[in-house]
Amino acid sequence: MCGRFAFYTPAEAVVHLFDASTSATLTPRYNIAPTQAAPVIRRHEDGSRHLEPLRWGLIPFWAKEPGIGNRMINARAETVADKPAFRRAFKQQRCLVLADGFYEWQKTAGGKIPWFISLAAGGPFAMAGMWERWRESDAAPSLDTCTIITTHPNRMMSALHNRMPAILTGAAVDHWLDPASGREELVNLLEPVNDETLTAVAVSRRVNSPANDDPGLIEPASDSTSDPG
């Protein structure tokens, strides 16, 4: 599962890294929660890429009301191509959800310990995502929403949770956004990254509350460790 994440790299650096443009003003975020704005890169019909904020929690185009999006923050890689809520978006409306790291909670005898997981090399990364456009009625304004695809964990993440975001690196980013990519190719991209790609550190339980959103959330807790296992 991916239920919280952080994104604080300046937009200027991100658009260069992912060959995108943006007109949005994105402020550093350290505790992005469901229903809040998430930084997303979409490929437009002319082939250009744009970075923009979308509401996190996908609302299928056929939904009667928007509350369903609260349960659609993640989509499982194993079923995403066929599940009614996601199959159209998987085929036609794939996107990148950007992060500098994400949080996961490890169950222990002393309670749940939050961990911040980021690239060992530092910098932002792309999580495989999808988006949808929903309208309450033909006359109502549209609402664009997104979801993050999760996959089975690598060895490091298995000590924390049985799911992790599907992180795209290198050429996988281009293939994911390419409308010509086939189903089998896309599904094969949704594998866990190598153990060496990520690093994890235990952080403060302050992250449990979405009301807290500051750089201190990603700092090691006073009694933290960097070994989830």
Q: Over the stretch 118-173, which tens digit does the pLDDT of each residue have?
A: 999 999 999 999 999 998 877 778 999 999 999 999 999 999 999 999 999 999 99
d(CA 64, CA 59): 9
Residues 6+ apart with CB under 8 A from 126: 18, 41, 96, 97, 98, 167, 168, 169, 173, 176
Share of the chain above pLDDT 90, in %: 87
Predicted model pTM: 0.94
d(CA 221, CA 91): 42
Of 2, 52, 132, 146, which residue is the catalytic one? 2
Q: Judge whether 104 counts as a catalytic residue.
A: yes
Q: Judge whether 146 counts as a catalytic residue.
A: no
CATH classification code of 5-104+120-196: 3.90.1680.10
d(CA 24, CA 44): 16
Q: Which residue has the tokens 């809520």?
A: 85
Of 52, 95, 104, 146, which residue is the catalytic one? 104
Q: Which residue has the tokens 């790299």?
A: 9
What pLDDT is attached to residue 223? 64
Residue 8 burial (10 A CB sphere; 0-12, 13-18, 19+): middle
